[in-house]
Structure 1
Amino acid sequence: MRLYFLFESSGTRREHTTFSMASDVPMPAPVCLIENMEGQLVVNQKSLEILSSITEPVVVVAIVGLYRTGKSYLMNKLAGKKSGFSLGSTVQSHTKGIWMWCVPHPKKPNHTLVLLDTEGLGDVEKGDNKNDTWIFALAVLLSSTFVYNSMGTINQQAMDQLHYVTELSERIKSKSTPTDEVENSSEFVCFFPDFVWTVRDFTLELEMNGKPITPDEYLESALKPKKGKPEEVKMYNLPRQCIRQFFPNKKCFIFDRPAHRKKLSQLETLHDDELDPEFVEQVKNFCSYIFKHSNVKTLQGGIKINGPRLENLVLTYVTAITSGDMPCMENAVLALAQIENSAAVQRALTHYEEMMKQQVQFPTETLRELLDIHATCEKEAIEVFIKDSFKDVDQKFQKELAGQLDAKRDAFCNKNLKESTERCRALLQDIFRPLEEAVQQGDFSKPGGYGLFLQKTKELKEKYYQEPRKGMQAEQTLQEYLKSKEDVADAILQADQSLSAKEKDIELERVKAQAAEAAAKQLEEMHKKNQEMMEQKEKSYQEHIKQMTEKMESERKQLIAEQERALALKLKEQENLIKGGFANETRKLQDQIKSLENRLRESRKRSPCIIC
């Protein structure tokens, strides 16, 4: 099932029933994902177990804002519930840390909506608000749609309360290696979620210059920079600039007051017909937009996030924060790639072994028969790896897969030889038992006995050749058996008084020539097998190269698409700034555009490079 993840900020811990993850069993109540324990962020292992059981892609929607602004109500509505996340009815903040709730998606089959409720920002009781910035940053890093909730209007006070957004470039790195501010900003727009501003208890008329405007136009107007000397307008323009530059798409919703102030404490129990009709319709429109437009959480390169991947992102980011480091998006992707690629190798090997066991009937008559089956199974195994792997730097994991597939192929070949040898030895023992018994009884110790011995041996050899599925060791095992009986044959030859000494010498030479011919034949067969193995290895190598080249080309196209999307957003922003007459801001943006254009040009030139 696909999962929607929603993050929300507000406030208190609550006990809840145990959740057992299953595709058709929703969580009965939220669970804590990240605890805020005395100023320290700690990941809850129980919630990670829930995430690890979710194999479908997830859509992550985060909502943050000041405490006591009604965020939990919106989260509960998105969950299709009246209660769940605590709304609170006093001036105290509820929801400490980040809480998670998974419910079936109401509009999309095979999707699940997962809500995360984070503690409210700016709680005066905390005294130290350093964790607010990290909670804000985590919501941005983990979401595909980021909702900021505020009260009243989008004015300077609301912008000042959104100062966390101005600190993102100081709290989050896009690259592990140092980058300048221009490049970092350009990278952010490729990774950051869509931005939705929800304005609660809105009382103004939506109009400008005497004409009605939409909520989106209201937001765009509020985000316009102010002209003036840079040092005088910096604090006014900075949060607006960050929102415009960091977030690729922006949306705004306004909400009337839901009910009379005295009834707000009972909001959790009120029915829709007891609420303001305009508010009910506005909430409905908000939920409809989130359900329809929130996308699967995706990392650079088109890497879609599922439960286990989100689990690893949470661990990676929180570990970086608690260790005093800056969360790095590139490092998070690479760390995720290490885990995913290692697992992809194991899944590919398991698939190969299962397919081989299903298709190979030991022993095969020829090496070619076995190698043909191997080639088919290997191709499918590589496809399994390619499908699940990403960011395989220098093809480290694919090389590991190739080496292990070679080892498993060799193991199957050795088993094939062993099975053939064991079957042939059992057949020889059964078929030649009468001959050995006749020798022991002295049936050939008489004149003409050697001729009878040769005739009987020939008959039994024919019988042996007629037996099916002896495998590749049929001739070699026969020759080894006959060689082990040379002394017996020689004794019968020497004891046969009907043959002259010259005839015996001729027969000995014939036997030697026959043995030499058999040895030459075995040598030729060995050369043929070695040649077939070499051909198979070359085919295997070419198959790895082919699939990896296709994968890298697909990733290159994905990167180009991401860069083109980021460039288009920057060009649109530049156009708006030029129309507004903001020359200084336009020049700064041109540096970002130039950086993006250079990287896009390099991406278009770059061809897949396979490290052999």
Structure 2
Amino acid sequence: MAPPGEAHMDRPLCLIENHLDGRLVLGEEALAVLQRIRQPVVVVAIVGLYRTGKSYLMNRLAGQRKGFSLGSTVQGNTKGIWMWCRPHPHRSDHTLVLLDTEGLGDVEKGNTQNDAWIFALAILLSTTLVYNSMSTIDQNALEQLHYVTELTQKIRITSSRDQSQEDEDSSEFIRYFPAFIWAVRDFTLDLEINGHSVSEDGYLENALKLQKGDTEQIRRCNLPRLCIRKFFPSRNCFTFDRPASRKKLRRLEDLQEEDLEEEFLESVARFCDHVWETSKHKTVPGGQAVTGAMLANLAKAYVDAINSGEVPCLENAFLALAEIENAAAVREALSRYEEEMQRRVVLPTGTVEELLRTHAECEREATRAFMARAFGGNIKKFQDELTHELNRKKEEFLQRNEAVSFNRCMAALENLSQDLESGVRAGRFSVPGGYQQFLEEQRQMVEKYRLLPDKGVQADKALEGFLKSKETEANSILLADMALSEKEKEVEAKRVQAEAAQRQQELLEQELARKKQLAEDQERSYEEQIRLLREKVEEETERMKEETERIVQLKLQEQKKLLEEGFCQKSKAMEDEIRKLKENNNSIFAISMATLEKALPHLISLAEQGMQYYTFHTMAKTAKASAAASAPEPPKGAEPTKK
């Protein structure tokens, strides 16, 4: 079994099935595997023409010789998108998700639109996209990659922007698109240009140079080059010799290492190391890491959009994902709070302060767990929901604490008073001097009660309730005691009344202290919520700024290449894109801070309401106590007034 939050797959599973009618269907078994993955995922997808050996490379990335089906005929073997989740070779806290896609251009399909959607999905789901082709990178190879020229028709960034505006501005696409690797198979040429040796990356960059001129033919030749350069500024190239003789290739997955060409194995090793080392984990805007469960929800959102005839919209997909994840983050945080409270708290606690202190610690852990998982512009809504639920659960613990304490105290009092009750029933105190004897035994019982440990927060309230319930018996014994004069009985009645009033005042002061503690805890809670929200917004903003700076640097490199190639006008257009990116970077910060400032008054008002609640109850209780203290004394000879 795999550890919790990780994946263990002995074989690939179909993630997206490609039906003959063009519909895409998600594989339930593959989705279930993704849903169990709580780790960040590094997603590597491979695309290319069918029968070009894509599956073999993916098996090597998985660290296996077999897995994705290779096939040995001219018929395409992989249909749809197949997934294989493996432990990441170099990052124990990440999961490597490999996506092997159906070969493009399969003559048996007869549906080029379907190919375009498979290509688009590979881009939308991956962090590294491998394009696999044969022999060389020439104009024919570039034209076979025509799907890249259709990306702005297959993917939308937002639902509100004008399509033509998106077509012109590739900078936002770069924010979401994967790194690009061109894998050239069966490469037999020397890596030389104009008599000078070049690297594999240099070979790719030379192939992507634009042709000068403004004819229709040149524009058509430059289009795929421009699109690759615009959408994939982070790109690399790897060339591979033929792995073995044509005869042996038919059983490639059964060949041992010694049966393969050494140059091929070296290239495969370099390719795998590069992918493992440089491929980033998938993120959403703001830099939040995407887990397997989140990837499953993204796949569902994209496939649902395609099947409904719409263009997948990244903004809509991320908004929907944020709703799902943030709701799950609330549930996870509440579960964490309950588990920690159950583990740390033994009811009843000695004081309210003790329970509130533990609550504060558990609330802090729960909120941090929520903030670690939550993301997007709607965090505040779910943070409010979490705060409300945590307050409700705190009240439940407070009530349970009081109930457990009260029941324990009443049980102790009933046990300790058994002898006293027996004496009353037997008439032991119905004699001259019996009242003083009754008071002495009751005092001894109360002393024993006070010495009992672990009574909890309701110790005094339970005692007061118990003594109040015995007032009738005490008054009866007092009035029947022939050893006392009427004057002495009157004085005793006033003493009893004064003691009861004193106990009531002490209980009132305890209640006021409790209300103050609750109000202070509420204020502490909301101040922490403000701080954590501010930290989250600033963290996401900083990550967005860092991401934008990375894109700007890639754009600057591209602009420099355009200038070197003599395309001044295109370089100027690139300069405008860079300027827009920097402006967007500043606006992202401004919007984030505005969102935070908008949330603060609400949080502050909630904290103020807590203090107002305490002040109101303090005034009300004080007024009630003053009224009770100023009440007229009972007439002589009357029974003490029950309060």
Same fold (TM over 0.5): yes
What does 1:333-348 correspond to in 2, within 5 Å?
A: 333-348=318-333
CA 25–244 in structure 1, closer or farther in 2 if over 3 Å, else same: closer
Structure 2 equivalent of residue 389 of structure 1: 374
Residue 16 of structure 2 is aligned to residue 34 of structure 1: yes
The CA distance in 1 between the partners of 2:286 and 2:560, in whole Å, is 28
Larger RCO, structure (CA 8 Å, separation 6 or more)? 1
Out of 35, 51, 54, the position equivalent to 2:37 is 54
1:331 maps to what in 2?
316
Residue matched to 2:47: 64
On the 8 A contact 1:21/1:53 being kept in 2, the answer is no
> In structure 2, do the counterparts of structure 1 residues 590 and 487 end up closer, same or farther at CA, with 3 Å as the change threshold?
same
Mean alpha-carbon deviation: is it higher for 385-394 or for 60-69? 385-394
Q: Structure 2: which amino acid aligns with 1:503? A: E
SS at match of 2:183: strand
Q: How far apart in 1 are the matches of 2:385 and 2:374?
A: 13
Moved more, 153-162 or 134-143: 153-162
CA distance in 2, matches of 1:529, 1:515: 21
Alignment partners' CA distance in 1, 2:7 and 2:182: 32
Residue 129 of structure 2 contacts residue 179 of structure 2 at CA under 8 Å; is this kept in 1? yes
Corresponding residue SS for 2:68: coil
SS at 1:34's partner residue? strand
**Shift of the alpha carbon at 1:177?**
2.5
d(CA) in 2 for partners of 1:429, 1:266: 86
Q: Secondary structure of 1:299's match?
A: coil
Q: Report the Cα offset of residue 36 of structure 1.
A: 0.7
Q: Which residue of the other structure, out of 537, 550, 560, is the alignment partner of 1:552? A: 537
Give the CA deviation at 1:173.
1.4
Report SS of the residue matched to 2:250: helix
Structure 2: state its 5+ residue gaps.
603-643
Give, in angstroms, the shift of residue 26 of structure 1.
4.9
Structure-1 separation of matches of 2:179 and 2:587 = 27
- One of 510, 529, 549 as aligned partner of 2:495: 510
Structure 1: which amino acid aligns with 2:152?
S
1:255 matched residue in structure 2: 240
Once the two structures are overlaid, the 10-residue window that deviates more, 602-611 or 393-402, is 602-611
Change (3 A) 1:77 1:357: closer
SS of the aligned residue for 2:272 comes to helix
Aligned to 2:449: 464
Shift of 1:517: 2.3
The letter of the residue matching 2:540 is E
User: Aligned equivalents of 2:161 and 2:261: distance in 1?
Assistant: 52
**Paired positions, count:** 593
CA displacement 1:488-541 (0-9 Å, x = unmatched): 111111111222222222222222222222222222221111111101100111
Over residues 142-174 of structure 1, what are the superposed CA-to-partner deviations in whole Å (9 max), with x where a residue is unaligned? 111111111222111111111111111111112
Give 1:599's aligned residue.
Answer: 584
What secondary structure, in the 3-state scheme, does the structure 2 residue paired with 1:126 have? coil
Q: Which SS does the other structure have where 1:253 is aligned? A: strand
- Whether 1:115 aligns to 2:94 is no
Once the 2 structures are TM-superposed, how far is the Cα of residue 466 of structure 1 from its aligned partner?
Answer: 1.4
Contact 2:50 2:102 in 1 (8 A): yes
Q: 1:79 to 1:505 in 2, by over 3 A?
A: closer
Distance between the aligned counterparts of 2:555 and 2:215, measured in 1? Answer: 21
Q: 1:327 to 1:519 in 2, by over 3 A?
A: same
Which amino acid in structure 2 is aligned with residue 36 of structure 1? Answer: N
1:344 deviation in Å?
1.7
CA shift at 1:430, angstroms?
Answer: 1.1
Query: Is the contact made by 2:45 and 2:99 (CA closer than 8 Å) also made in structure 1?
Result: yes
Shift of 1:275: 4.0
Q: Which moved more, 1:372-381 or 1:174-183?
A: 174-183
In structure 1, what is the Cα distance between the partners aligned to 2:167 and 2:106? 33
Contact 2:81 2:100 in 1 (8 A): yes
**Quick one: which of 525, 529, 548 aligns to 1:540?**
525
Residue deviations 1:436-482 (CA, integer Å, cap 9, x gap): 11111111112222222222222222221111121221112111111
**Given the alignment of the two structures, is residue 235 of structure 1 paired with residue 220 of structure 2, yes or no?**
yes
- Counterpart of 2:294 in structure 1 is 309
Instruction: Determine whether 1:101 maps to 2:84.
Output: yes
Q: CA deviation at 1:133?
A: 0.6
Aligned residues: CA RMSD = 2.2
State the 1:111 CA deviation.
5.2
1:129 is aligned to 112
**Matched-pair contact (CA < 8 Å) for 1:352–1:381:** yes
Inter-partner Cα distance in structure 2 for 1:167 and 1:493: 100
Alignment-derived partner of residue 367 in structure 1: 352
Deviation at 1:406, TM superposition (A): 0.5
Separation in structure 1 between the aligned mates of residue 256 and residue 510 of structure 2, nearest angstrom? 85
Which residue of 118, 124, 133 corresponds with 1:150?
133
Aligned position for 1:10: none
1:320 to partner: Cα distance: 1.3
After superposition, residues 138-177 of structure 1 pair within 5 angstroms as 138-177=121-160
Return the offset for 1:232: 4.9
Does the CA-based 8 Å contact 2:16-2:80 persist in structure 1? yes
- Structure 1 residues 276 and 481: alpha-carbon distance in aligned structure 2, compared to 1, 3 A threshold: closer
**Which of 443, 461, 466 is equivalent to 1:481?**
466
**Structure 2 counterpart of 1:91, from 71, 74, 77:** 74
Determine if contact 1:65/1:150 at 8 Å carries over to the other structure: yes
The two structures have a TM-score, normalised by structure 2, of 0.88
**Given that residues 302 and 312 in structure 2 are in contact (C-alpha distance below 8 angstroms), is that contact kept between their aligned partners in structure 1?**
yes
- Equivalent in the alignment of 1:6: none
| CA spacing shift, 1:557–1:315, aligned 2, 3 Å | same
Please give the alpha-carbon distance, in whole angstroms, between the structure 1 residues aligned to 2:545 and 2:213: 37
Q: Which has the larger displacement, 473-482 or 130-139?
A: 473-482
Residue 609 of structure 1 is matched in structure 2 by 597
Q: TM-score normalised to the size of structure 1?
A: 0.92
* Mapping 1:361-440, distance limit 5 Å: 361-391=346-376, 393=378, 395-440=380-425
Q: Once structures 1 and 2 are overlaid, which stretch shifts more, 308-317 or 173-182?
A: 173-182
Secondary structure at 2:212 match in 1: coil
Query: How far apart in 2 are the matches of 1:364 and 1:273?
Result: 71
Q: Counterpart of 2:509 in structure 1: which amino acid?
A: E
Preserved contact between residue 431 and residue 482 of structure 2 (Cα < 8 Å):
yes
What residue number does 2:607 align with? none
The alignment partner of 1:64 has SS state of strand
Deviates further, 566-575 or 600-609: 600-609
Partner Cα separation in structure 2 for residue 29 and residue 293 of structure 1 = 25
8 Å CA contact 1:186–1:592 kept in 2: the answer is: yes
Note if 1:496 corresponds to 2:475: no
Partner of 1:196: 181
- Residue type at the aligned position of 2:19: M
Answer yes or no: is the 8 Å Cα contact 1:174–1:184 preserved in 2: no
Give the Å deviation of 1:383: 1.4
Residues 287-298 of structure 1 aligned to structure 2 (within 5 Å): 287-298=272-283
2:241–2:264 Cα contact (<8 Å) kept:
yes
Decide whether aligned partners of structure 1 residues 30 and 512 sit closer, same or farther in structure 2, where only a CA change above 3 A counts: same
| Whole-angstrom CA distance in 2 between matches of 1:410 and 1:105 | 44
Match of 2:61 among 62, 78, 84: 78
Distance 1:536 1:329 in 2: 41
Aligned residue number for residue 15 of structure 1: none
Instruction: Report the counterpart of residue 563 of structure 1 in structure 2.
Output: 548
Query: Which region of structure 1 is more displaced relative to structure 2, 343-352 or 526-535?
Result: 343-352
Shift of 1:272: 4.3
